[in-house]
Structure 1
């Protein structure tokens, strides 16, 4: 099912706005480096402030194996816990464990923020060569390809991310944005819903999914 040009333009503009959002990483300006064990324990506490403290701690010292606990915290009863857990996930995902790779990663993110997409793609390609198991290197190159209009290459990199990090709600949303640009609205909606199934706090993605669902329903009704 193809969308009208007006509907497609509106949805694409909204998708681009979402794609260009760069998550703000939690500040690491704490007086002492928190204990990972203490942060994990705090995340289980009944007190919301303790859970927030635990999520903030994992943003600084968390490892990839801690991601499932932070993903569970995306459904915490406390809104601030959910917000901190989301930022903590991005922080954990963005640490490669290699100082050289992390330095290149910061360089690539800066290049992408300055819309220097060829340079960003080259930087993230170097990261992938150095550490192919680092999912976020693939994700950032997928984002750079998307912003440069190279949608098929972006899709291929998304596939590599999902192999390494199946619950990466950012890349699931990215699939949706790409399929929207490729005029495959049903597939786009499928991936937006998958992203929301992992992280129900993605308000921009939720709004985009609702608009897309409404358009698809109206188009189907007209075709009856």
Structure 2
């Protein structure tokens, strides 16, 4: 009786690993985007981000940051809690990018303008333009978050909290909005609520060290007040 050959699983590495290694060596993002875009769909990259080995997951998450839109939010949100620190770091960068890739081209352009206004500390105009965008497209979570940033920066903490809550209602992975509420509650001296918000942010994004440091500070205040 002849023995049946036993098939062995292929040890062939995905091409994505090679593309990612070349990217690390040359830091040529244009070449990485071109190579990955020619060989991989976003759906395949999402699958690799969830089930590949460490280097493959890193490459897939990096590629999603370049090529994906808000539809990949859930996959990148899960990657924030990946067992590999490198994947988690890449996921945080990638998910912030895809949060702004939603809506029509003109809506994306307007969202980018609002972000630039906040960065330039032109908060009144940021609030006005974010409000207009919210009226047109209330399902864009980042517009609520950006208005919350402007409200916080002008000491309108209750308004900022409401906008952060809305951002999280639309996008439950928005660790920035969760932490933002925490900062608002700190300003209102509601430290128990602040601690709860920072814990929520860290549950979503364990690598958010600013929220971790603030949580420790708030917990110290609560302990001293006992």
Using structure 1 for the length normalisation, give the TM-score. Answer: 0.80
CA distance in 2, matches of 1:28, 1:74: 22
CA distance in 1, matches of 2:221, 2:158: 25
Tell me the residue number matched to 1:196.
202
Q: Does 1:101 align with 2:107?
A: yes
For these two proteins, the number of residue pairs brought into alignment is: 194
Aligned residues: CA RMSD: 1.8
Q: Which residue, out of 34, 48, 53, partners 2:54?
A: 48
Mapping of 1:103-182 within 5 angstroms? Answer: 103-182=109-188
Q: 1:167 and 1:46, CA in 2 relative to 1: closer, same or farther beyond 3 A?
A: closer
Summarize deviations over 1:21-61 as a string: whole Å, max 9, x none: xxxxxx97323535202211321344322111111222233
CA distance in 2, matches of 1:166, 1:155: 15
Summarize deviations over 1:86-111 as a string: whole Å, max 9, x none: 11111111112311011111111111
CA distance in 2, matches of 1:78, 1:184: 35
Summarize deviations over 1:133-173 as a string: whole Å, max 9, x none: 11111111111111121112112212221221123111111
CA distance in 1, matches of 2:171, 2:213: 25
Q: 1:172 and 1:150, CA in 2 relative to 1: closer, same or farther beyond 3 A?
A: same
Is the partner of 1:183 in helix, strand or coil? coil
Q: 1:46 and 1:132, CA in 2 relative to 1: closer, same or farther beyond 3 A?
A: closer
Tell me the residue number matched to 1:8.
none
Moved more, 40-49 or 174-183: 40-49
CA distance in 1, matches of 2:185, 2:207: 22
Runs (5+) with no aligned partner, structure 1: 1-26
Using structure 2 for the length normalisation, give the TM-score. Answer: 0.79
Bigger radius of gyration among the two: 2
CA distance in 2, matches of 1:154, 1:181: 11
Say whether the 8 Å CA contact 2:50–2:79 is kept in structure 1.
Answer: no
Higher relative contact order (CA 8 A, sep 6+): 1
